[in-house]
Copies of this chain bind each other. A is one copy, B any other.
Amino acid sequence: MSALAVEAVWKFYGDYPALRDIRFSVERGQCIALLGRNGAGKTTLIRILAGLSRPTKGFVRLFGRDAGERATRAQVGIIGHGIGIYDELSALENLKLFAGLYALPSPARVAAEWLERTGLDRVKDGLVREFSRGMRQRLAVARAFLHNPQLLLLDEPFTALDDRAIALLQGLLRDALHEGRTVLMSTHQLREAMELATHVALINRGRLAYTGERSPEMLADPGYLYRVHGEA
């Protein structure tokens, strides 16, 4: 059973197709980099996988279950374009809140642990409103990993992170992969993505242009994929 299976998914905004007949699947323990130019449809696809939007046609299976089911959702960790944390709450309160929502046994302990792992323990009582952009993104990372999700859906997770934070996130992702968890990420920072990815998928204007393993030339030359499979 695949960790993630996308079957003939179409998404229309009105009559405009933002995704056209997308099909691919990802096995457990794989890390797939979802690539595509601005406006290709990456975010749209990730939102469907996260159960935030329903495909117009086709369907999506996570671990053999429907994306919208509650048990599935508890297995998924998300970083989206918006950081998804509350400005009026402190870092700690934010994490405790999400730990509570995911019904983790001891919210406070988990929250404290993840603040430490993302290097935010020193500012844990500061309101998020006062955080710098990178600090917010780190908090978003903590929120996404908090409940030990089996599948990570990351939409441009490296945004605004400094070198250390990128290394940290890559480390977290590597650990997750070693533990057999699955990662799907979209990004324009190809270098960082290629270092991790075992597979790649390329979307061109809503259509899947390429899927397959990440080859060594992609690592050596991140622009390779776009040149070969992208549009003119």
A residues whose Cβ falls under 8 Å from a Cβ of B: 13, 36-40, 42-43, 81, 123, 130-135, 137-138, 156, 159-166, 188-191, 223, 226
Closest 10 CB pairs of A and B: A38-B134, A39-B132, A37-B162, A38-B162, A81-B133, A162-B188, A39-B135, A38-B135, A159-B159, A38-B132
Q: Which of B39, B42, B130, B138 is in CB contact (< 8 Å) with A38?
A: B138
Copies in the complex: 2
**A162 to B187 Cα, complex, angstroms:** 9
Q: Which of B81, B163, B191 is in CB contact (< 8 Å) with A188?
A: B163
Question: In the complex, how many angstroms separate the beta carbon of A43 from the nearest chain B beta carbon?
Answer: 6
**A38 to B163 Cα, complex, angstroms:** 9
Residues on B with beta carbons closer than 8 Å to the beta carbon of A189: 189
Q: Are A223 and B188 in contact (CB under 8 A)?
A: no
Given contacts A13-B130, A130-B13, contact A161 B135 (CB under 8 A): no
**A133 to B44 Cα, complex, angstroms:** 11
Return the chain B residue nearest A80 by Cβ: B133
Question: In the complex, how many angstroms separate the beta carbon of A19 from the nearest chain B beta carbon?
Answer: 12
